[in-house]
A and B are shown apart, each in its own frame.
Chain A
Amino acid sequence: MYLKSLHLRQFRNYRDQEVYFTAPKTIVLGDNAQGKSNLLEAVELLATLRSHRATRDRDLVQDGTASSQITALLERATGSVDLALTLRHNGRRTVALNGHTLKRQIDFLGVMSAVQFSSLDLELVRGGPGYRRDWVDTLLTQLEPVYAHILQQYNLVLRQRNALLKQQKSRTDALAPAVDATELAVWDAQLAALGTRVIRRRSRVLQRLAPLAQAWHHAISSSTEHLEVHYAPNVSLENDDPLLIQHAFLEKVKERAIAEHAQGTTLVGPHRDEIEFTINQTPARQYGSQGQQRTLVLALKLAELKLIESIIGEPPLLLLDDVLAELDLKRQNKLLDTIQDRFQTLITTTHLGSFDAQWLQSSQILTVHAGQLV
Chain B
Amino acid sequence: MARLIEQFQRLPGVGPKTAQRLALHILKRPETEVQELARALMEAKQQVGLCTVCFHLSADPVCEICRSTSRDQSTICVVADSRDVIALEKTREYQGVYHVLGGLISPMEGIGPEQLHISSLIKRVSKGNIAEVIIAISPSVEGETTTLYVGQLVKPFTKVTRIAFGLPMGGDLEYADEVTLARALEGRRELD
Residues of chain A whose beta carbon lies under 8 Å from any beta carbon of chain B: 103-104, 106, 149, 153, 156-157, 159-161, 163-164, 167, 179-180, 182-183, 186-187, 189-190
Contact between chains at B152 and A160 (CB < 8 Å): no
- Contact flag A186-B170 (CB < 8 Å), given A163-B108, A164-B107, A180-B112: no
Which B residues are in CB contact (< 8 Å) with A164?
Answer: 107, 112
Q: How far is the CB of A26 from the nearest CB of chain B, in Å?
A: 36
Instruction: Given contacts A160-B107, A190-B148, list 15 more A-B pairs with CB under 8 A.
Output: A104-B169, A153-B141, A156-B141, A160-B108, A160-B141, A160-B145, A163-B108, A164-B112, A179-B112, A180-B112, A180-B113, A183-B105, A186-B105, A186-B148, A189-B148
Which B residues are in CB contact (< 8 Å) with A157?
Answer: 141
Residues of chain B whose beta carbon lies under 8 Å from any beta carbon of chain A: 105-108, 110, 112-114, 141-142, 144-145, 148-149, 152-153, 168-170
A62 to B69, CA, bound (A): 62
| Most A Cβ at <10 Å: residue of B110, B142, B168, B169 | B169
Contact between chains at B168 and A104 (CB < 8 Å): yes
Contact between chains at A183 and B108 (CB < 8 Å): no
A189 to B153, CA, bound (A): 16
A179 to B152, CA, bound (A): 16
Q: How far is the CB of B106 from the nearest CB of chain A, in Å?
A: 6
A104 to B169, CA, bound (A): 7
Contact between chains at B152 and A186 (CB < 8 Å): yes
Residue on A nearest B139 in the bound complex, by CB: A153
Residue on A nearest B151 in the bound complex, by CB: A186
- Contact flag A190-B144 (CB < 8 Å), given A163-B107, A180-B113, A182-B153: yes
Contact between chains at B168 and A103 (CB < 8 Å): yes
A-B CB contact pairs (8 Å), 25 listed: A103-B168, A104-B168, A104-B169, A149-B169, A156-B141, A157-B141, A159-B108, A160-B106, A160-B142, A163-B107, A163-B108, A167-B107, A167-B112, A179-B112, A180-B112, A182-B152, A182-B153, A183-B105, A183-B113, A186-B145, A186-B149, A186-B152, A190-B141, A190-B144, A190-B148
Residue on A nearest B108 in the bound complex, by CB: A163
- Contact flag A104-B107 (CB < 8 Å), given A186-B145, A187-B145, A190-B145: no
A171 to B170, CA, bound (A): 32
Which A residues are in CB contact (< 8 Å) with B168?
Answer: 103-104
Which A residues are in CB contact (< 8 Å) with B152?
Answer: 182, 186
A104 to B142, CA, bound (A): 19
Q: How far is the CB of B46 from the nearest CB of chain A, in Å?
A: 35
Residue on B nearest A103 in the bound complex, by CB: B168
Contact between chains at B149 and A182 (CB < 8 Å): yes
| Most A Cβ at <10 Å: residue of B106, B107, B113, B152 | B107
A157 to B110, CA, bound (A): 14
Q: How far is the CB of B171 from the nearest CB of chain A, in Å?
A: 9
| Most A Cβ at <10 Å: residue of B106, B142, B144 | B144
Which B residues are in CB contact (< 8 Å) with A183?
Answer: 105, 112-113, 145, 149
